[in-house]
Amino acid sequence: MPDWTYHPMRGLAAAVLGRRRSQRAALRLLASIGSRPAGARLIARGFGHRHPPEQLAGEIAGVPVTVRLGISVPPSLAREAVRAMPPLGAGLVEVAPVSAADAETVREAAADRSIPLLVRACDPEAEAALQPHVDGFTSGDAPNVVRVSEPSVTAAATALKDPGAIVLARPGVLVAAGPGWFARVTEAATPTAPAPALRDVGRDPRRWPAWWWALLVGLGMTGAGLGAAAITLGPVLLWYDRDYLGMGLHELHAANHHLVHFLQHDRITMAGTMVAIGALYTGLAVGGIRRGWPWAREVYLLSGAIGFPTLFYFLITGFVEPLHTATTIVLFPMFVAGVRRTPHTPKWRLAPEGPEPERRRALVGQLLLIVTGAGLFVGGAVISVVGLTGVFVPTDLTFLGTSPQLLESVNPRLVPFVAHDRAGFGGALMAAAVAIVLISAWGWRRGEAWVFWTLAVAAAAGFLPAVVVHGAIHYTDFIHLAPVYFGIAMTGTGLLLARPYLCAKAPARPKD
């Protein structure tokens, strides 16, 4: 479990299972999943862990390790630790102290391991019994081994600045800090460079960096959303809409006096979602990709991989919208340029550790944002399915005071026309939701104010137009709007809890 479920739910788990039993249950769950290659990748990717920098590689007792950061556990925890620690970001596991009586336990733990396993033996018999089964042996007085008992990220990262130092945490460190401790230390110990400024972009598009192309897509999505809103609040229908329907606003109003307002409510909600996506992509470009966060590119890629293909909903609805198509044709090449693989030199600047209660509150906020994003994704999927099949939900028909059959009798193209808007909104909502979930899951760090403001602006752009337009057209059915109200409450509470943590001041980078 990641920190954002571990800390908010550990009290409940302890109350149900007992403190020690709940801790062992969590470790066994991670070990069970992490022992399988696919499960280990799932944990590592799901936690947002990436490859540590080369500067943190080294060796201990002649054994090479990819990161000089590990854990020291008693023999009773060896089996679970060997399987659970690699996807969490540990570079080695030490089992200590080990006597001859513990040799069989350690041998079982060493089988099929994917991480260097070292032993601090109590006697020569134990060392001789384990010599063929483990990678090496340590001693309790090795000067280059730093054993930490406190969950201070700063202290561990400072120790790792010595290229020969090995940092070994005791189990209590992870119990107190959470499973994300290894990744937090690795990031804090990673050497970084200054982030590029706008003046570094240059004028030659062939040399523009990926983050600049991603920013252009974000700004383009924002502009397209604002343009869609302006059209909806103005003429509502463009020439191609009228040509497809063979009707204008007056004919639509005559067919059903709520129909024009219904179209406006769908399109304003869609426009707000487009602006929200633009805000999310802009934040990812400037705050994430530009500063070398490898996860930011992945968020951008996954969100776009869901959003752009919604253009092909026309294969089902039968209505091709030229403006939507033109926007996609313009932005998609920029999107591809924004996700092209380039070396990610770390250019972030982390804020120092703050009060632990501040982080714990922020983790609750993080959980709320992830749950909200997951709910939005489910909602977007449902809306897409409804838009591509039944088109209307019962509250829609109550508001319109009609049925799909009656609308089709007026004009057989009316329902496919509404379906295009409805399904497109569902696809856009899913794209935004993926970005919200993954930014919240992978970007939650002290001092990353861009995460707070990106999510806050996206929430305002997505939720507020939906509430306002429903009120303006008097479509105020509580059941219909309950998910929106719930999302506002969850997002507002989550951001309020996380603001002191995310918006903490990072230290100024010293000038050369």
pLDDT (tens digit, 9 = 90+) per residue, 229-263? 999 999 999 999 999 999 999 999 988 999 999 99
Residues 69-86 have a mean pLDDT of 91
Tokens of 279: 């805000």
For the cut 60, the answer to whether the pLDDT of residue 511 exceeds it is: no
Residues 37-49 have a mean pLDDT of 77
For the cut 80, the answer to whether the pLDDT of residue 507 exceeds it is: no
Q: Which of 11-15, 99-103, 281-285 is the least confident region?
A: 11-15
For the cut 90, the answer to whether the pLDDT of residue 433 exceeds it is: yes
Q: What are phi and psi of 89, to 5 degrees?
A: 110, 5
For the cut 70, the answer to whether the pLDDT of residue 508 exceeds it is: no
Q: Which of 198-207, 249-258, 297-306, 424-433 is the least confident region?
A: 198-207
% of the chain surpassing 70 pLDDT: 97
| 326 Cβ neighbours under 8 A, 6+ residues apart | none
Residues 337-346 have a mean pLDDT of 80
**The residue count for the chain:** 512
Instruction: State how far the Cα of 461 lies from the Cα of 436, in Å rounded to an integer.
Output: 13
Predicted confidence (pLDDT) per residue in 137-162, tens digit: 988 788 889 999 999 999 999 999 99
pLDDT the model gives residue 512: 38
For the cut 90, the answer to whether the pLDDT of residue 273 exceeds it is: yes
Tokens of 481: 């709007």
Tokens of 418: 């509404």
Predicted confidence (pLDDT) per residue in 449-499, tens digit: 999 999 999 999 999 999 999 999 999 999 999 999 999 999 999 999 999
Using CB atoms within 10 Å of the CB of residue 437, give its burial: 0 to 12 exposed, 13 to 18 middle, 19+ buried. buried
Tokens of 163: 């290229």
Tokens of 162: 């010595």
For the cut 50, the answer to whether the pLDDT of residue 283 exceeds it is: yes
Average pLDDT, the chain: 90
pLDDT the model gives residue 509: 55
Strand-pair partners of 117 = 93
In degrees, rounded to 5, the angle at the alpha carbon of residue 146 between the alpha carbons of residues 142 and 151 is 155
Question: DSSP character for 136?
Answer: E
pLDDT the model gives residue 25: 83
Q: Are 439 and 495 in contact (CB under 8 A)?
A: no
Question: DSSP character for 225?
Answer: H
pLDDT the model gives residue 425: 92
For the cut 60, the answer to whether the pLDDT of residue 328 exceeds it is: yes
For the cut 70, the answer to whether the pLDDT of residue 49 exceeds it is: no
CA 116 to chain centre: 30
Residues 499-509 have a mean pLDDT of 82
pLDDT the model gives residue 343: 63
For the cut 80, the answer to whether the pLDDT of residue 170 exceeds it is: yes
For the cut 80, the answer to whether the pLDDT of residue 315 exceeds it is: no
- CB count within 10 Å of CB 434 equals 25
pLDDT the model gives residue 3: 87
For the cut 90, the answer to whether the pLDDT of residue 304 exceeds it is: yes
97 cis-preceded (ω within 30 degrees of 0): yes
Q: Are 427 and 310 in contact (CB under 8 A)?
A: yes
What 3 state SS string does 45-114 have? HHCCCCCCCHHHCEEECCEEECCCEEEEECHHHHHHHHHHHHHHCCCEEEEEEECHHHHHHHHHHHCCCC
For the cut 80, the answer to whether the pLDDT of residue 317 exceeds it is: no
What 3 state SS string does 137-202 have? ECCCCCCCEEEECCCCHHHHHHHHCCCCCEEEECHHHHHHHCCCHHHHHHHHHCCCCCCCCHHHCC
Helices of type H across 411-477: 414-442, 449-472
Measuring CA to CA, how many Å separate 49 from each of 262, 303, 344, 387, 443?
45, 19, 14, 37, 11
Q: 5 pLDDT band (50/70/90 cuts)?
A: confident
Q: Are strands 166-169 and 69-73 parallel, antiparallel or unpaired?
A: parallel
Return left, alpha or beta for 237; rule: phi > 0 is left, psi -120 to 50 is alpha, else beta.
beta
Instruction: State how far the Cα of 350 lies from the Cα of 355, in Å rounded to an integer.
Output: 15
Tokens of 200: 């570094």
pLDDT the model gives residue 428: 94
pLDDT the model gives residue 43: 80
What 3 state SS string does 228-286 have? HHHHHHCCCCCHHHHHHHCCCHHHHHHHCCCHHHHHHHHHHHHHHHHHHHHHHHHHHHH
For the cut 90, the answer to whether the pLDDT of residue 192 exceeds it is: no
Among 418, 495, 488, CA closest to 451: 495
> Rounded to 10 degrees, what is the CA torsion of 407, 409, 414, 419?
70
Instruction: State how far the Cα of 463 lies from the Cα of 488, in Å rounded to an integer.
Output: 7
Q: Which of 13-27, 102-116, 289-303 is the least confident region?
A: 13-27
Instruction: State how far the Cα of 21 lies from the Cα of 7, in Å rounded to an integer.
Output: 16
Predicted confidence (pLDDT) per residue in 371-426, tens digit: 999 999 999 999 999 988 888 999 999 999 999 999 999 999 999 899 888 889 99
Residue with tokens 């659970």: 84
pLDDT the model gives residue 42: 81
Among 65, 123, 57, 56, CA closest to 94: 65
Instruction: State how far the Cα of 175 lies from the Cα of 179, in Å rounded to an integer.
Output: 8
CA 100 to chain centre: 46
**Sign of the CA dihedral 55, 72, 156, 299?**
positive
Q: Are 454 and 287 in contact (CB under 8 A)?
A: yes
